[in-house]
Structure 1
Amino acid sequence: MKVSRKIVKIENHHTYLDIETDAGKYRLILLNDDIVRIRCTFAAEFKPEASYALVLTAWQDHMDELLQGERKRVEAIAVAYQDCDTYILWAAKKLNIKIHKNPFAIEISDKNGNILHSDLQEKASVQDDLGRIYHYSCMDDDDYFYGFGEKAGVLNKKKRRMRMHNVDTLGYDSELTDPLYKHIPFYIKLNSKNNIASGLFYNNSYDSVFDMGCERSGYWNTYSYFCADGGELDVFFICGPKIKDVIKNYTDLTGKTILPAKYSLGYMGSTMYYTELDVSADKAILQFLDKCKEEEIPCDGFFLSSGYTAGADGKRYVFNWNYDRFTNPQGFVEEMKEKGAALAPNIKPGMLTTHPLYKEFAAAGAYIKDDSDEKPQTDRYWGGQASFVDFTNPKGRELWKKHLQEAIVSLGITSIWNDNNEYEMNDLASICHYEGLKENVSALRPLMPNLMAFMAKETVLETYPNIRPYIVSRAGFAGIQRYAQTWAGDNNTSWKSLKFNIPVILGMGLSGVANQGCDIGGFFGPAPEPELFVRWIQNGIFQPRFSIHSCNTDNTVTEPWMFPSYTKYIKAAIQLRYRLVPYLYSLLVEAATEGSPIMRPLIYEFQDDHNVLEESFDFMLGSSLLIANILDKGAKTRQVYLPAGAEWFDWYTKKRYEGGQIIEVEVSLGSIPMFIRSGAIIPMSEELTNIHKAVGETLHLLVEVSSEAEFSLYEDDGITNHYKHGDYLKTKVNINKSNGTKITFTPEGSFLTPVKVVQLDLICHDIAPIQIRLQDRKLSMFLNQREWQASTAGWYYDMEQKTAKIKYSNINATYTIHADFAVKDLISV
């Protein structure tokens, strides 16, 4: 065992600091004012820099050419160190980095003296006799831990031990199963005493474990640790002080969420049932779309399960169309488009040894090799023995791209569903090409799904350079958000899954993956009972990925209309989803630029309210809407905690509540408890029935004006890459209270919006406006609601909703709405 106990040598190289201890070598780099890299090896020298995960670097990296379109190179910040006898001080702009000499340990604090991270002295970094590396960190009783990627259970992971390992967890328990499909070794620590958040990202893709205080020894202070099966200790400390800051900085490091086509926010149909029909699976899917239209349920696409690739032996062969089930794939894709639906076919990276293309890939050296680096490694897979495409090999990538283009993308398909891509390989000594560096698969396994998604994106863009790819991936490592939307795999059909999939999704959002969701209605198990199905739809409409997907074990198929007497609730919920698309799309753009989650735990928005430190099931949709779904069978009431620091308004009645209290509301089967935050700005569309084809000419804005706020409403054509060249419209909406109540609209960009009419709903709880002006023009006030509805401009006060409803023709320039709330003295007149 090797333990770094004391410093024996220090070298300052201007933009980095090298430290040699009696066991390991360390290199400290201040990447920018918010990110400190601490790299450690117990070998004689550091390995070559070669990371697929990082998009922000300050050094030459072996992957620079491959990732040149997304990687940013910066100059590391030069910091002179001070020798303070027992420790070395590296004083940066925001941080003080104290490196203790003997016993060796690194401590990071802010300029106010708050300790943000501290190694466990005498046990900071360790390599055991099996080659595993450990990093021990001091813990405080007031620490809370969030993130860790896709993890079951409640949001706060304190007192948890979690394994990082991609695995196909069919029918998992969303409260207890560990691990799941994703491997994201990143977490956020929030100290509730000083209210400061910070993050640690371990750039190591070996299987690993996080122990967040489960292990205890009386010889040491309370600690957590990270343990990886191999590689180097390459840890990035990331500043806050807000959780929002940590996530922004982390996604600067590993990448922002890719902006997919807008239709990805629509309802995406899916089921394994249709593609397992002996014949005419294509007709079943087209009939599904017709039924959606008949039931007035919007639908924008269909995830095509892998049954479309079934060979004569019934096994899945990627890139192989089954012509009994799909007689004319090209014509089928075109019919889907005519009906306003995109097709996202399922593809898998494991190729059975009986696959018609197996020998071609083997001859090209495109598979991961056995431990002799000579033959393709085979392993257990769905259907039998298979070899796995090596996406770290240019030959594997190019051959995959060739067949993906020929079999799928050339048909006009720009949506790709990457599935069964966990790379569950038992012989971890198998060899990957690794861009010529050669490395065991144990070091690279979770990176394969990232590179698979990267190839899907590249294939679509090379074929259709101006079309935005929509890629979905089940597995992934840190940075998967750069290429794909994800989902939480093959969940179990149960009330528990409905409930605990929420913190699974929220944890992913806190791990940089803003665009994700779960299979609505449950994937594995019998068909959901009607009440569970309704409640799951009512929750699923707020997830960025909204898809009802099933592989029911009772010979049924989960469809929106499966329980006719309940269809009205399903339809109402999905139609609400489509009303919120302008808001959701703006949030998706925020994720793509800032890294912000779309579904946000309450602690993300209300870090000052310690009552939400462990809230796992209620969440914010963006910054303006609190969602408190019904998650328990037979519920008649729902208790909701409304965070302090805001006032809250019931979505339906506009009843006002003070923050910082628990309320109880009555609920029915049609209820979705939703609360509008003071200062909310929520853009909606009342006309949207299909994102592909419908044009929303009326923009409906719901605004609460009791506090100052800002929101950026984003529009573009939703499908092309023109937005990258300025063809977008970002309208900044500001509520200003400095001199009366003003709502200012400031547009940026060249996109010509289809919006012709704006309807502005102003929640005015205490007093109705006396006058509404558009710029300097007084708008007509109507006492009769029908007259207002028939008018082209004016306003009306809805007494029951305590809302001023304002209507006017859209203005493609900066303008302001003035609301005058002075009290009119009718007596003295």
Structure 2
Amino acid sequence: MKIRNTLCLALVATLFSFKEPAVKNYQKLDDGVLVKLEKAASGDPQMVQLRVLADNIIQVKATPVEQFSQEPSLMVLENKNGKTDWQFQEKGKTLVLNTKDLRVEVAADNGAVTFYDRNGNVLLQENNQGREAFAPVNLGKEQSYRLQKAFNVEPNEAFYGLGQHQAGLMNYRGWQVDLTQYNSVAVVPFLVSSKNYGILWDNNSITKFGDVRPYQPLSKLKLYGKDQKPGGLTATYAFDATSGQKPIVRQETEINYEFLQDQKRFPQGYKLEGGLMTWEGFIESDATGDHRFEMPSSGYVKVWIDNKLLLDRWREAWNPGMSVFKAPLQKGQKHAFKIEWNPDGGVSYLALRYLTPQPAQDLNKIAFASEAGDRMDYYFVYGKNLDGVIGGYRQLTGAAQVMPKWAMGFWQSRERYKTQEELLGVVKEFRKRQIPLDNIVLDWSYWEEDKWGSQEFDKTRFPNAQAMIDEVHANKAQIMISTWPKFYEGIEAYKQFDQKGLLYKTSINEQIRDWIGKGYVSTFYDAFNPEGRRMFWNLINEKLYKMGIDAWWQDASEPDILSNTSIAHRKALMNPTYLGSADKYFNAYVLQHNKGIYEGQRSTNPNDRVFILTRSAFGGLQRYGAATWSGDIAATFEEMGRQIPAGLNFSLSGLPYWTTDIGGFFVENKYDRGPMTPAAQEEWRELNTRWYQYGTFTPLYRSHGQYPFREVFNIAPEDHKAYQSIVYYNKLRYRLMPYIYSLTGQVYHQHGTIMRPLVMDFGADKNVHNIGDQFMFGPSLLVNPVYVKGATKRNLYLPANTGWYNLYDGSYQKGGKQITADAPYERLPLFVKEGSILPFGPELQYTAEKPAETITLYVYGGKDASFELYEDENTNYNYEKGKFATIPITYQEASKTLTLGKRQGEFNGMLRNRTFQVVYVQPGKAKKLQFDAQPDATIAYTGSAKAVKLK
């Protein structure tokens, strides 16, 4: 009887056990789950929350205290998508959230989160071992936390995005990426994986990604002089050869001249101008494997390890750039080491630090580490492909607008047009020579020397700015103008901002002077303050927009209050912000500054599209009508090569509009110190030709830089192949305008990406995962820039599982192989993907000159193809209200049928009737790119569907 009763009780307990949850430390919410954890250490999370924002987007938050900070995100917009269907399960000590696309598990005992696809494959897994996630930090009067989160990843997984970084890396796997805003570094804390997911790290402070161990100073290695005596490298500081002074020789254990504050480290009495420094000897590590080195540098620098040249570059003395390289070292073995540095200026910068090989247990781990934040907050975004991942990012942070059509044409700029006559003369010369142009750019210092921030023209050089703007418009061009968030102490605008407490005052208190004339004291306004943003817009509206200025160039928006000062001092210079400590908000200034301009212009004039070009970026910037350029880069072939992966990773960060200074911003002495030698002049022409070729196929097509003047007619005469090549690609860009503007429409309507790393379209081909110097321009064009001086051939990879046509001659070959392509001076290798439709319009002098009444459709057979032609009203926001039209164009390989589908939508001024001239290219039937060629078919199109058979 006793046994029977026991069995009955056991049965009852079994039947009713599902009512008693195995885990009691969670709360199911309408949009997710909240888990309360037992803290083993003070830095552990106490609360972890998962929110389901969409079938493919999960937010993960954690805090070390009992309540989450309610501080709103600057990057992420409020979720207005409504509820997503999802299911919740409790499986032992694991809590499970299921959506149509994902299964997400959170461990109730430690809060670790794992993301799976619907087939049960692990996509990403939090690694909760190692360091504590939260470390308290005092920020003046504020209490905050340093944050760190690690993830387990697959051995062959590749990582991209994170903004624009110019160390030459495409795939960040195994490296550390420093997310600190800087002139030529643009931070977007959005990471994408070759496994088709992304992580938006919602933190505004300086952050590191990847291998986040701190870099070590050179002194952590065993160092020997060139005579092999231990204790340091042999450092030789040679003076200018004309000085007659003997070099200073000493043993050194560190190389650290990175910031202004470090200039005092040079030997007493040593002058950099004309000097040459070397560090020679041997280095020895206590570890075996690849050691990674990081070197910020300016001037000319070369690095050898074991007599192998690992770095050879030049960067302007006043604006150092970052380089990374690696070398295999053997534990306990001496390796020959040498650095040669010509600072090429009176003030210059150099430092070197290193990382030992990653420990074995960390090889398949990545991490984010941020300096400050009140909570840990990230978004996991999944996609069927990388377009879907980027679409998820924009769903979180805002759509990128359709840029005004003129912005997709050619922009001419230089540093700088010093007078009204210079600027107008350039516009007139373009029109006289019939070289297409849409935008002329007026760079900084159009104001009186001592009135930076006034936004007022110097009347001695710009006597009638209104007439100048009107004449630009009369010549069918737009004018963009440079404005900075900077004010000279004492000018009227400074006083107005200062009276309301809207200025950062540290630089005023320290009386820091800039480089203009005698030097003037200045500061920046606090863009985190809503009133500051309103006042800045009101200032440029009253002084400039009302005169007819079309677009805004927002320079130094990092903010660069004092170049090359230490990071600690940079934060002090913008402290405190309206929202709190600069440590917490350091990277987000650019977002708030451009927000004010965008919202200001749209409230003042809701009709015209905002266009902003800014020298920095941050998550969400794309929603403010803003594009980014790559900063004050050097005019060298090597630097041009670094632009390519920098721009591609920027595109993978979800921001579609990017550009670089064609030709490079700052030049070596051989180009601008007196007349160029014939050799230097030819090198200059070749550099610009190759850069113009590449720039034609970037989202925005723009020439800019310091002297020599950057206009094509100032680079070379008409009969020179440099001139002819530059004009050829300029005209080709305008012929491609139906294609390019359709891509611009896709950016907004389909979250499209214009400049596409190969991993986006050919990710299944593992060979493309590390390719950073080839890319797709839209869905069809494979662009292969030439960035080696004197090169007339270019090694490149044709992605697998498709065929490729040479754009110029129509010849065909299969993909999946490396080839050596012809790259004569006048041409860069361009290929068209098999199964493509390329629409070409008429020759134009500016984008709005005439509608594309006749479109030449090049159809590249071999596979099915499709393209959607997009059109709208070009410069206003009516497309947001549905005023746009699309024409679907498809080609079926099996039936050799081209179909122009029924036009969808309409808008004011829409061209209702047009002619399509069809040129059909097939494998074995090559056809040259020739706009006056005899078409294979002619279609009169009136908006109804039409189909033709092609032969």
Same fold (TM over 0.5): yes
Q: Which moved further from structure 2: 115-124 or 667-676?
A: 115-124
1:728 aligns with 2:727: no
Is contact 1:757–1:807 with CA below 8 Å preserved after alignment?
no
Per-residue CA distance 1:702-746 (angstroms, 9 max, x = gap): 111322222111112312223333332211111234655232332
Name the counterpart of 2:206. Answer: 207
Q: Which moved further from structure 2: 95-104 or 347-356?
A: 95-104
Q: CA deviation at 1:166?
A: 1.1
Is contact 1:271–1:550 with CA below 8 Å preserved after alignment?
yes
**C-alpha distance in 2, partners of 1:98/1:458?**
40
Per-residue CA distance 1:642-665 (angstroms, 9 max, x = gap): 111211111111111011122223
Mark the structure with the bigger radius of gyration.
2
Q: CA deviation at 1:456?
A: 2.0
1:237 aligns with 2:343: no
Per-residue CA distance 1:415-468 (angstroms, 9 max, x = gap): 11111111246364665665xxx4222222332222222222233333332211
**C-alpha distance in 1, partners of 2:843/2:766?**
40
Is contact 1:696–1:754 with CA below 8 Å preserved after alignment?
no
Residue 535 (structure 1) aligned to one of 675, 687, 690: 690
Per-residue CA distance 1:602-647 (angstroms, 9 max, x = gap): 1111111111111111110111111112221111222221111211
Is contact 1:763–1:802 with CA below 8 Å preserved after alignment?
no
> Which amino acid is 1:514 matched to?
P
Query: What TM-score does the superposition give when structure 2 sets the normalisation length?
Result: 0.74
Name the counterpart of 1:60. Answer: none
Name the counterpart of 2:415. Answer: 272
**C-alpha distance in 1, partners of 2:557/2:932?**
52
Is contact 2:163–2:617 with CA below 8 Å preserved after alignment?
no
**C-alpha distance in 1, partners of 2:848/2:68?**
51
Per-residue CA distance 1:471-499 (angstroms, 9 max, x = gap): 11111210111120111111110001211
> Which amino acid is 2:189 matched to?
P
Name the counterpart of 1:261. Answer: 404
1:327 aligns with 2:463: yes
Name the counterpart of 2:438. Answer: 300
Name the counterpart of 2:613. Answer: 472
Name the counterpart of 2:495. Answer: 359
Name the counterpart of 2:727. Answer: 571
**C-alpha distance in 2, partners of 1:38/1:77?**
18
**C-alpha distance in 1, partners of 2:610/2:745?**
15
1:627 aligns with 2:769: no
Q: Secondary structure at the match of 2:901?
A: strand
Q: Secondary structure at the match of 1:760?
A: strand
Residue 184 (structure 1) aligned to one of 172, 188, 200: 188
**C-alpha distance in 2, partners of 1:690/1:799?**
22
> Which amino acid is 2:445 matched to?
G
1:31 aligns with 2:53: yes
Q: CA deviation at 1:110?
A: 1.4
1:519 aligns with 2:523: no
Is contact 2:146–2:370 with CA below 8 Å preserved after alignment?
yes
Name the counterpart of 2:107. Answer: 100
1:119 aligns with 2:126: yes
1:82 aligns with 2:96: no
Q: Secondary structure at the match of 1:143?
A: coil
Is contact 2:807–2:929 with CA below 8 Å preserved after alignment?
no
Residue 482 (structure 1) aligned to one of 623, 627, 630: 623
Task: Quickly say closer, same or farther: Cα 1:98–1:322, change in 2 above 3 A.
Answer: same
**C-alpha distance in 1, partners of 2:584/2:829?**
46
Residue 476 (structure 2) aligned to one of 326, 329, 340: 340
Q: CA deviation at 1:686?
A: 2.8
> Which amino acid is 1:292 matched to?
F
1:633-644 → structure 2 map (5 Å cutoff): 633-644=789-800
**C-alpha distance in 2, partners of 1:602/1:115?**
24
**C-alpha distance in 2, partners of 1:83/1:376?**
61
> Which amino acid is 1:551 matched to?
Q
**C-alpha distance in 1, partners of 2:86/2:822?**
60
Q: CA deviation at 1:366?
A: 2.4
Name the counterpart of 1:508. Answer: 650
1:228 aligns with 2:242: no
Number of corresponding residues: 740
Per-residue CA distance 1:214-238 (angstroms, 9 max, x = gap): 7734566732110111112101011
Q: Which moved further from structure 2: 759-768 or 652-661?
A: 759-768
Give aligned-pair identity as a percent.
25
Is contact 1:366–1:396 with CA below 8 Å preserved after alignment?
yes
Is contact 1:499–1:631 with CA below 8 Å preserved after alignment?
yes
Per-residue CA distance 1:277-299 (angstroms, 9 max, x = gap): xxxx1111111112112333211
Unaligned runs of 5+ in 1: 1-6, 58-71, 170-179, 191-195, 276-280, 769-796, 822-829
Is contact 1:319–1:404 with CA below 8 Å preserved after alignment?
yes
**C-alpha distance in 2, partners of 1:439/1:157?**
32
**C-alpha distance in 2, partners of 1:575/1:477?**
33
Q: CA deviation at 1:260?
A: 1.9
**C-alpha distance in 2, partners of 1:341/1:801?**
26
1:355-504 → structure 2 map (5 Å cutoff): 355-368=491-504, 384-424=520-560, 426=569, 428=571, 434=578, 438-483=579-624, 484-504=626-646
Task: Quickly say closer, same or farther: Cα 1:295–1:743, change in 2 above 3 A.
Answer: same
Q: Secondary structure at the match of 1:547?
A: strand
Q: Which moved further from structure 2: 717-726 or 106-115?
A: 717-726
**C-alpha distance in 2, partners of 1:219/1:600?**
34
**C-alpha distance in 1, partners of 2:852/2:859?**
19
> Which amino acid is 1:524 matched to?
F
Q: CA deviation at 1:357?
A: 1.3
Q: CA deviation at 1:73?
A: 4.8
1:601 aligns with 2:725: no
Q: Secondary structure at the match of 1:675?
A: strand
Q: CA deviation at 1:684?
A: 1.4
Residue 860 (structure 2) aligned to one of 704, 724, 744: 704
Name the counterpart of 1:168. Answer: 183
Residue 155 (structure 1) aligned to one of 148, 156, 170: 170
1:198 aligns with 2:187: no
**C-alpha distance in 2, partners of 1:666/1:221?**
40
Q: CA deviation at 1:345?
A: 0.6
Task: Quickly say closer, same or farther: Cα 1:420–1:798, change in 2 above 3 A.
Answer: closer
Name the counterpart of 2:916. Answer: 758
> Which amino acid is 1:761 matched to?
V
Name the counterpart of 2:486. Answer: 350
Is contact 2:489–2:522 with CA below 8 Å preserved after alignment?
yes
Task: Quickly say closer, same or farther: Cα 1:569–1:38, change in 2 above 3 A.
Answer: same
Per-residue CA distance 1:34-87 (angstroms, 9 max, x = gap): 001001122342111412211352xxxxxxxxxxxxxx35335554231324x3
Name the counterpart of 1:132. Answer: 146
Is contact 1:367–1:377 with CA below 8 Å preserved after alignment?
no
Residue 45 (structure 1) aligned to one of 60, 67, 91: 67
1:146 aligns with 2:287: no
Unaligned runs of 5+ in 2: 1-22, 138-144, 213-354, 562-568, 672-682
Q: Which moved further from structure 2: 674-683 or 122-131?
A: 122-131
Q: CA deviation at 1:104?
A: 4.5
Q: Secondary structure at the match of 1:332?
A: helix
**C-alpha distance in 1, partners of 2:600/2:887?**
33
Is contact 1:103–1:122 with CA below 8 Å preserved after alignment?
no
**C-alpha distance in 1, partners of 2:819/2:363?**
41
Q: CA deviation at 1:118?
A: 0.8
> Which amino acid is 1:660 matched to?
G
